[in-house]
């Protein structure tokens, strides 16, 4: 009797949802088949409760394989799942005509499924259901009696269906509520500010011009070491080139609005700026280059989504979890592969955003002690990065960074400071020792320390024999010291390097006349 099977089916489905914490995945339009799932740590159980009647063993097998393929194509499984078991419970009037015992211990033909079980509830219903409960590791027994009166049976069956629908609607409302806790106003505001500042950068000298970036507040370790820590905030609103801006603003549009909907407006902006600060501090500690961009804050938003996943793993993996984790891993790998990417800021912001999410917590969550611990962890994290950055001499005395600073100081005619910076940077020089010694010699010439300047230039041309400027200044110093043989040799070297430069030819002719 079909209505009797419907009653058993809905009784079982309702028990799985209410007592065993299964979630309804799908239900067929005629309510003939339900699909439910449950994740327990890294183990996933998927249960199919069907009223479909099959006459032959092969029809059951074909149905099982097709359903398993369809389910795996349409759901997101936990990324690090340990095992996946599929349970097909058929509540039918009779068993297939041919033998079906081989289905009880079958191996699934579908990849990723570790165990696949088939249960045919026909004659020995109670025994089969007990077997299913054992294989599915269900803890609460299901006991019920089937009404004898047909009208009562129909009424109770309909009541069970309505209860299932109500639970499903409540679950859907609860999930929707998680993603509608704030309208994404601040995301759009931050996006607009970034675009406006980018246009201003382009107007005032170009977004790829280092001088313009420094002037507008890019992360510049030299200035920060001198007290300009506000650059950690201002650099979050600067972008280097249109591609950099477009990529970050696209991420802010999609990820920022999502995080703002989940956490609400105030929590979102706190996470954004705390992550940006952490990312900026990590960049200061690990990256000597001039840097700018919202990447640290944006990776912090990924950290906020990961924190959401930690607190709501079922919803997370049911909706976006695998995609979020994949994007984060892909970006980190990309960052390590491309030297120009500030991977320190990315990872620093990701961690900072995760911790910041623990500080603000999800809406309607009260955990004062956890929040306090998160505040302490964040403070230690940021100041730990600061302490490491201040003592990381390989970064703070990076030769490229210091040469940029030296060029500025020479323009300002601060020659004594130039000599001090070169002297402190030379022990860490790897490729630009010749350039550093050239600049120190240049400063010492103006300071009239000619012997030191001559020594630096001699060392510079040893490291870089094609260093024309160093040879030229060295020739002039030899000429001034009346060392005409050495001066002439230096001038001849200049002409070997570049015989089209008129000043080199003039110097050579002067030295030849002086020698004669």
Catalytic residue list: 295, 346
* Gap between the Cα atoms of 158 and 6, Å rounded: 9
Q: Cα angle vertex 92, ends 107, 140, to 5°?
A: 75
* Gap between the Cα atoms of 164 and 410, Å rounded: 78
Pairing between β-strand 115-121 and β-strand 33-40 as defined by DSSP bridges: unpaired
Token duo for residue 412? 């300002």
* Alpha helix (H) residue ranges in 361-467: 368-391, 393-396, 399-411, 415-425, 433-446, 450-463
CB 120 within 8 A of CB 90: yes
Token duo for residue 230? 């506000």
* 152 burial type by CB count under 10 A (0-12 exposed, 13-18 middle, 19+ buried): exposed
* Alpha helix (H) residue ranges in 19-112: 57-74
Beta bridge partners of residue 91, listed in sequence order? 121
CB 36 within 8 A of CB 25: yes
Beta bridge partners of residue 219, listed in sequence order? 291
């Amino acid at each position: 009797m079909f209505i009797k099977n419907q009653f058993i089916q809905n009784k079982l489905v309702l028990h799985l949802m209410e007592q065993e914490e299964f979630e309804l995945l799908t239900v067929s339009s005629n309510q003939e088949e339900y699909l439910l799932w449950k994740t327990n740590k890294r183990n996933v159980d998927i249960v199919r409760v069907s009223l479909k009647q099959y006459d032959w063993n092969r029809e059951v097998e074909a149905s099982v394989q097709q359903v398993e393929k369809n389910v795996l194509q349409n759901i997101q499984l936990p990324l690090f799942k340990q095992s996946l078991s599929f349970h097909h419970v058929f509540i039918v009037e009779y068993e297939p005509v041919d033998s079906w015992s081989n289905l009880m211990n079958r191996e699934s033909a579908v990849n990723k499924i570790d165990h696949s079980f088939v249960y045919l509830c026909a004659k020995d219903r109670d025994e089969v259901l007990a077997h299913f409960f054992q294989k599915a590791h269900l803890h609460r027994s299901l006991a019920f009696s089937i009404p004898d009166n047909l009208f009562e049976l129909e009424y109770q069956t309909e009541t069970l269906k309505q209860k299932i629908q109500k639970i499903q609607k409540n679950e859907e409302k609860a999930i929707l509520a998680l993603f509608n806790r704030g309208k994404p106003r601040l995301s759009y505001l931050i996006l607009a500010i970034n675009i406006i500042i980018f246009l201003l950068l382009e107007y005032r000298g170009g977004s790829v011009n280092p001088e313009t970036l420094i002037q507008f507040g890019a992360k510049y370790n030299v200035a920060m070491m001198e007290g300009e820590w506000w650059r950690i905030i201002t650099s979050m609103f600067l972008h280097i080139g249109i591609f950099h801006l477009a990529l970050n603003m696209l991420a802010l549009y999609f990820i920022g609005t999502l995080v703002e909907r989940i956490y609400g407006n105030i929590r979102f902006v706190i996470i954004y700026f705390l992550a940006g600060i952490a990312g900026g501090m990590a960049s200061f500690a690990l990256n000597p280059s001039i840097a700018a961009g919202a990447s640290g804050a944006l990776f912090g938003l990924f950290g906020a989504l990961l924190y959401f996943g930690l607190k709501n793993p079922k919803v997370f993996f049911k909706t976006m979890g695998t995609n979020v984790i994949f994007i984060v891993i892909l970006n980190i790998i990309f960052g390590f592969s491309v030297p120009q990417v500030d991977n320190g800021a990315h990872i620093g912001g990701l961690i900072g955003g995760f911790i910041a999410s623990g500080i603000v917590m999800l809406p309607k969550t009260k955990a004062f002690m956890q929040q306090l611990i998160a505040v302490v962890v964040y403070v230690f994290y940021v100041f730990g990065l600061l302490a490491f950055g201040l003592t990381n001499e390989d970064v703070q005395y990076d030769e490229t960074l210091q040469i940029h600073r030296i060029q500025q100081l020479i323009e300002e005619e601060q020659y004594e400071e130039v000599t001090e910076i070169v002297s402190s940077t030379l022990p860490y020089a790897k490729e630009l020792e010749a350039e550093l010694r050239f600049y120190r010699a240049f400063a010492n010439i103006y300071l009239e320390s000619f012997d030191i300047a001559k020594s630096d230039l001699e060392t510079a041309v040893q490291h870089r024999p094609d260093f024309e400027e160093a040879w030229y200044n060295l020739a002039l110093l030899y000429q001034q010291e009346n060392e005409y043989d050495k001066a002439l040799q230096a001038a001849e070297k200049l002409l070997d390097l570049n015989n089209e430069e008129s000043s080199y030819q003039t110097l050579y002719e002067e030295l030849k006349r002086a020698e004669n």
